[in-house]
Amino acid sequence: MKIGIDLDDVVVNFSKSFLNFYNKEYKTNFKIENWNSYWFGDAFGINNQVVKNVTNDFYNSNYFDEMPLIENARKSIDILAKKYDVNVITARPRRWGMKTNDFFKKHFKFIDLDLYHARDNWDNKLKKSKICRNLNINLMIEDSRENSIQCANPNLDSDVYLLNKPWNQENSLPENIIRFNNWERVLEKLNRGLK
């Protein structure tokens, strides 16, 4: 079986680190629980150009370099990689590739993972569903509701495990998208078998 795993807020705690950076730099007090849209600018009323600038500043900060892993992510991916073909599929721009590769060398140096970027730059995005189709991904682990729905397309014959986040709480989901609260529950489900 081939598994695709999103990176930010599935493996690494991007949103917490980003908010810490943003709140410090801009003297705000945004909280994760108020992040009710996948798009930061929509959630907090910030225009797209400011979001791009802030995200680039974040990328060049220690906050980015020192992002913590999501609880049990490393252990879970290690277990999955011993049994399945695991691929990391991220919406991070390709120009962030060097730092992203450094992150994997630091945290996953003994695990063989292939990394795919769904974005060349801010405005040139390849759909994760297309990457999943090209790689014949059977299961995608994701935090974006939109990406989950696209990857769960019945024509792709794949399932999606959606990690619960404040920004993906809309109720209606296709039946092949299953919500999970954490990596521990994901592993339990995989140990019992898919579907």
CA separation for the pair 55, 18 (Å, rounded): 8
CA separation for the pair 57, 142 (Å, rounded): 25
Residue 44 has pLDDT above 60, yes or no: yes
Residue 195 has pLDDT above 60, yes or no: no
Full-model pTM: 0.92
Range from 51-60, 83-92, 149-158, 162-171 carrying the lowest mean pLDDT: 149-158
Per-residue pLDDT band at 19 (split at 50, 70, 90): very high
Note whether 119 and 125 are within 8 A (CB).
Answer: yes
Q: Six-digit token pair at 116?
A: 């795919």
Residue 60, burial from CB neighbour count under 10 angstroms (0-12, 13-18, 19+) = exposed
DSSP H helical ranges for the chain? 14-26, 40-44, 48-59, 62-65, 73-83, 97-107, 128-135, 145-151, 183-192
Report the mean per-residue pLDDT for the chain: 89
